[in-house]
Amino acid sequence: MRISKIKKEKTGLGMHLVMCGHYGNSFFFVQEEIREAHEEPTDPQAQQEIINSIEEVYFSNDSFDIVKYELERLPPVLSLQELEEYRDKLKQQQAAVSKKVADLILEKQPAYVEELERVTSLQSGLQLAAVICTNGRRHLNIAKEGFTQTSLGLLANQRKRQLLIGLLKSLRTIKTLQRTDVRLSEMLEEEDYPGAIQLCLECQKAASTFKHYSCISELNSKLQDTLEQIEEQLDVALSKICKNFDINHYTKVQQAYRLLGKTQTAMDQLHMHFTQAIHNTVFQVVLGYVELCAGNTDTKFQKLQYKDLCTHITSDSYIPCLADLCKALWEVMLSYYRTMQWHENHDQDEAAVVSSDGNNVIGTEESSFDRNYVKKKLEHGLSRIWQDVQLKVKTYLLGTDLSNFKYDDFIFVLDVISRLMQVGEEFCGSKSEVLQESIRKQSVNYFKTYHRTRLEELRMFLENETWELCPVKSSFSILQLHEFKFMEQSRSPSVSPSKQPASAVSATVTLFEQYCNGGNPFEIQADSKDDETEDVLASNGYESDEQEKSAYQEYDSDSDVPEELKRDYVDEQTGDAPIKSVSRDTLRSRKKSDYNLNKVNAPILTNTTLNVIRLVGKYMQMMNILKPIAFDVIHFMSQLFDYYLYAVYTFFGRNDMFESTGLGLSSSRLRTTLNRIQESLIDLEVSADPSGTLTAAEERKEKVPSPHLSHLVVLTSGNSLYGLAERVVATESLVFLAEQFEFLQPHLDAVMPAAKKPFLQQFYSQTVSTASELRKPVYWIVAAKAIDYEQMLLLMANVKWDVKEIMSQHNVYVDALLKEFEEFNRRLNDVSKRVRIPLPVSNILWEHCIRLANRTLVEGYANVKKCSNEGRALMQLDFQQFLMKLEKLTDIRPIPDKEFVETYIKAYYLTENDMECWIKEHREYSTKQLTNLVNICLGTYINKKARQKLLATIDDIDRPKR
């Protein structure tokens, strides 16, 4: 049952009573409820409490489904007793409400009867009013038809009124014309040019209309003068657009020119103003800095030409002036860009209006012609304006010698010009040839001076370098250096290449779009270098105290070996290894072959290496900003590497005595590279030749004196293995430098001009790749001095080889030689405590020592005067004993030159005919060694003639060598 809120709205009960009165059945139903309610007398207060307990939702005025509400409230598990109790509660509430309704109905029944009587009376009154209105309308129609003459009189008066209104309008127009000058002046002060022109034209038209009035006879000529004055002010207003474009201001100016019918003239004037604005802007900026630096109020600078003015800029003010110059020119170009934008948007709007209303065909064609003219004029003006900008900046650039600028300052100049060229590309698609050529000249000039200074610094570094290890972390990468940060940043055209933020603007957004509403791409930003610090150095050369402790442990027992070396392999990048046991043999192999005491294989490099790498980064920064000089920069970069390579070779690898051994220590490629470096880069003359030509002097300016090894570096001490630690640091730092060049090759190849790519390929194939080949001559010197081969020859000379019985004991010289190798191994361990000796280095050292030892053995055997078959067997026994003991010291397999010794010993057993063929096939032996074979081995078996023949064969083989 739907009821109103009984507690609050008693009027609702009255309406319920009315409804019950209109619907009999319902009324009787209510009466029945009233009767039932009266049959059950209850306490009024209890009745009211029952009504108050009814939920608020039953008093809602909205449509409300009571049945659905009650069903949704049912609990998941139904209980008949609870349902019956709840039903009884609802019945009590319904009975209480019904009784309350019944009481209210009975209370309001007299009022209802009274209201019903009033309604009946009102109905009668309305019927009477309708009759009266009908009669009134009929009488009005009669009056209308009877008063025609009066209506005509009213019309006549209306005509007179209209004539007087027309006269009043004319008088007001004349009054307005007389006050036009004042209003025009106000409008011009407000810069309402369209309104002023519109007003002036309307006044002219009105003056011609009312020319029959004598009071305005001279107004036409006065209005014409005013119109010309407006045009002059309009031109001044147009010139303001060039530096600070304001869309509302320009809209007014264009509307004004359109009213005058001079749209094309306005465009011609606009381009003239832009040209003038560029000239005035650059002159004023440069003049301001020149006068500021001059420090006086002398006006002589104002009379100078712009080109001459640029030469008076000081080095200190050069960069801020350049930045301000570019900022000012940017404002001019941005104004032109926004001008073009305005016309594009305006043309689109106008074309849309024309398409919707094509009635005025002649006007449409004229407007279309004007739009096309303006569009072509603006497009043509782009290249003209950019050309003016280029020429002004070029004049400024070439007005100062930048060769003595600091590197960061010059990079900033390149940065600014690079952004300016990008502006030109976005502005009109220009490649900025004028700017490129001017900055190329300055860059080449600057870079030659800069590079020359850096080479001299590099020579100083090398001559003062003690070749101590520079402690860097194992995770060191050149990308961690500030000079290479630009390689990690995603390049964005809207940001300075050397100062880009981490979140770069999308490449699709042009500078003009980005800075259209404010800001300037040439604002000088604080260098972001200070925001980050390099973290590449390791503490005390090691990455933890535990590693430092392990660096000085001995290899005497397995317990002293670092845990990492006990693994099967170690990942050099992460230091991780699989959980797998390792045998003692493998461990011993590691101990002998890789003298690595650090837990992590940190790169081996020196401070000088780091300096060269930083220089390479700076060179690449410049090359990245200014690609036209990429070849010059890469050429100079190659000279840095060449000079470093030549220095390492000169300090540690040059030894004519050992190079003449003919063992091929220096490959032909390495020798060619070293000769090329010496001829092209090294100045071997002590003083300039006064009689030399100018060309020769210029060539010498491009060269650098050969470096000299620091006197602090001692390479003659046997205890330090003749400077092995320094040699390792030097050669391995060179190898590391070569690896960094290999890493940079794709970046260099990307910017190298196609015509110059062969130079880059040749540099990598013939120079960079030869760095590791320098290990052989450098470590050969150590190997040649580390073991006393001469002493071994003396011991071998005391051995009797013409024994008559097979010996079971090897000779003493073998033990002496092995003792030398054990001592060499011990000293290698000592050196490795200072510097990690990489596996390739230890292998080369062992290979050199073994090769020299084997060649010494052959030389000792070649010195034998008498030898029996038993003596030859003793040679084999000695050599096998040497090999067996040696293989326990090193894991190099196969033993170098093993066949060289065995083949020579076996040659003692050859016959005459076999010997001749053998001599021809084995040209690796010296003449003395071959001659000894013939004299000692075959001397007792062949006649003198056969021996002479064999000796002649040896002489023939030796002749080409001489």
pLDDT at 688: 44
Predicted confidence (pLDDT) at residue 579 exceeds the cutoff of 80: no
745: confidence class by pLDDT, cuts 50, 70, 90: very high
Structural tokens at position 620? 């690449």
- The residues, ordered by sequence, that sit 6+ positions from 17 with a Cβ below 8 Å of its Cβ are 104, 105, 108, 109, 112
Q: Kindly report, residue by residue over 902-917, the tens digit of the pLDDT.
A: 998 888 888 778 888 8
Highest mean pLDDT among 396-400, 489-493, 532-536, 581-585: 396-400
Read off the pLDDT of each residue in 282-287 and give the average, rounded to a whole number.
Answer: 90
Q: Between residues 560 and 444, which one has the greater pLDDT?
A: 444
192 in Cβ contact with 255 (< 8 Å): no
The predicted pLDDT at position 664 comes to: 53
CB atoms within 10 A of CB 757: 13
Contacts of 865 (CB under 8 A, 6+ apart): 936
Residue with token string 């010494």: 856
pLDDT over 50 at 506, yes or no:
no
Phi-psi label, residue 480: left if phi above 0, alpha if psi -120 to 50, beta otherwise: alpha
Query: Can you read off the two tokens belonging to residue 565?
Result: 């070396």
pLDDT at position 565, please?
36
273, 234 contact by CB (below 8 A)? no
**Percent of the chain residues past pLDDT 70, beyond the cut:** 76
pLDDT tens track for 538-550: 654 444 434 433 3
Question: Which 8-state DSSP code applies to residue 472?
Answer: B
Q: Please say if the pLDDT value at position 457 is more than 80.
A: yes
Show Cβ contacts of residue 864 under 8 Å, excluding neighbours closer than 6 positions.
801, 871, 932, 936
Highest mean pLDDT among 202-211, 760-769, 798-807: 760-769
DSSP 138-161: HHHHHHHHH-HHHHHHHHHHHHHH
Separation between Cα atoms, residue 537 and residue 543, nearest integer Å? 9
Higher pLDDT, 497 or 760: 760
Per-residue confidence (pLDDT) for residue 213, from 0 to 100: 64
- Confidence grade of residue 589 (pLDDT, cut at 50, 70, 90): very low
Distance, CA of 284 to CA of 332 (rounded, Å): 14
d(CA 350, CA 357): 11
pLDDT score of 548: 37
pLDDT recorded at residue 533: 56
Question: Is residue 704 over pLDDT 70?
Answer: yes
**pLDDT per residue over 684-694, tens digit each?**
775 444 444 44
Sequence-separated (6 or more) residues with CB below 8 Å from residue 599? 542, 543, 544, 546, 547, 550, 562, 564, 575
Lowest mean pLDDT among 469-478, 605-614, 643-652, 812-821: 469-478
Length in residues, the chain: 962
* Overall average pLDDT of the 434-444 stretch: 86
Whether the per-residue pLDDT at 165 is higher than 80: the answer is: yes
Please report the pLDDT score of residue 35 as a whole number.
Answer: 53
- Tokens representing 476 are 């060191």
**pLDDT for position 359:** 55
Please give the residue that has the higher pLDDT: either 338 or 60: 338
pLDDT per position as a tens digit, 232-281: 888 888 888 888 888 888 888 888 888 888 888 888 888 898 999 999 99
- CA 61, distance to chain mean position in Å, is 68
The pLDDT, as a whole number, for residue 363 is 54
* Confidence (pLDDT) at 559: 37
Among the ranges 194-203, 293-302, 716-725, 881-890, which has the highest mean pLDDT value?
881-890
Would you state the pLDDT for residue 218? 67
Tokens of 393: 């900046």
Instruction: Indicate whether 529 pLDDT > 50.
Output: no
Lowest mean pLDDT among 49-58, 465-474, 503-512, 660-669: 503-512
Amino acid 595: pLDDT: 52
Residue 504 binned pLDDT confidence (cut-offs 50, 70, 90): very low
pLDDT bracket for residue 737 (50, 70, 90): very high
600-636, pLDDT tens digit by residue?
578 899 999 999 999 999 999 888 877 778 888 999 9
Q: Which carries the bigger pLDDT value, residue 173 or residue 128?
A: 128
What residues does 682 pair with on adjacent strands?
Answer: 704
- Report how far apart, in Å, the C-alpha atoms of 474 and of each of 543, 575, 823, 889 are: 8, 10, 31, 29
pLDDT at residue 834 greater than cutoff 70: yes
Q: Which two tokens stand for residue 163?
A: 């004539």
Rounded CA-CA distance 373/447 in Å is 48
The one-character DSSP state at 479 is G
Please report the pLDDT score of residue 721 as a whole number.
84
pLDDT of residue 509: 78
In the predicted structure, residue 216 carries a pLDDT above the cut 70 = no
pLDDT number for residue 856: 92
| Beta-strand relationship, 682-683 and 704-705 | parallel
pLDDT at residue 56 in the model:
80
The pLDDT tens digits for 774-817 are 998 888 888 888 888 898 889 998 888 888 888 788 889 999 99
Closest CA to 392 of 351, 366, 424, 370: 424
Mean pLDDT for all residues in the chain: 78
Interatomic CA distance for residues 752 and 634, integer angstroms: 8
Comparison of pLDDT for 18 and 629, the residue scoring more: 629
Report how far residue 642's alpha carbon sits from residue 170's, in angstroms, rounded to the nearest whole number.
98
Mean pLDDT of 146-173: 77
Please state which of the ranges 43-47, 282-286, 886-890 shows the lowest mean pLDDT: 43-47
Question: Two tokens at 111?
Answer: 């009022």
pLDDT at 599 over 50: no
Whether the Cβ atoms of residue 858 and residue 925 lie closer than 8 Å to each other: yes
pLDDT at 836 over 80: yes
Asked if residues 608 and 730 have their Cβ atoms less than 8 Å apart, the reply is: no
Contact 780, 848 (CB under 8 A): yes
Poorest-confidence range of 148-157, 283-292, 410-419?
148-157
**How far apart are the C-alpha atoms of 540 and 11, rounded to whole Å?**
98
pLDDT of residue 45: 84
In the block, residue with structure tokens 């073991």: 787
Question: What's the pLDDT band for 663 if we cut at 50, 70, 90?
Answer: low
